[in-house]
Amino acid sequence: MSRRYVQALDLADDPLLIEEYQRYHQQIWPEISAHLRRYGVTEMEIYRLGNRLMMVMETTEDFDDDLFERRSLEDPKVCEWEALMWKYQRPTPWTPAGEKWVEMERIFSLKDQP
């Protein structure tokens, strides 16, 4: 059993920066993918429409958000990656101050339909 998170983030509205951001994500740093897997992220996909991103993250059932956040802040390579990504990323208009990716509200599921 797994858990799914769907989050949103914006990018700088600059085609060159968006292209560069996408190149970084063709093959992220190995330390970043190892970190994600180490703390229970089993799959992650990012989709883009214009400068809006949507991330779908699948985790183990026992994924601990707080532990993941703490370990991320303690890892120098993760901090370096996150600082670099802020060159490209922008909060959405609905993102609380100081936050990045924000959880999207699910409003429909076919599974819930008759």
8-state DSSP, 94: T
Which pLDDT tens digit goes with each residue over 72-99? 999 999 999 999 999 999 999 999 998 9
pLDDT above 90: residue 1: no
CB 4 within 8 A of CB 72: no
The DSSP result for 6-61, as a single string, is EEEEEE-S-HHHHHHHHHHTTS--HHHHHHHHHTTEEEEEEEEETTEEEEEEEEET
Which pLDDT tens digit goes with each residue over 16-28? 999 999 999 999 9
Residue 107 is predicted with a pLDDT of 97
Domains in the chain, please, with CATH?
2-101 (3.30.70.1090)
Paired with 43 in beta bridges are 58
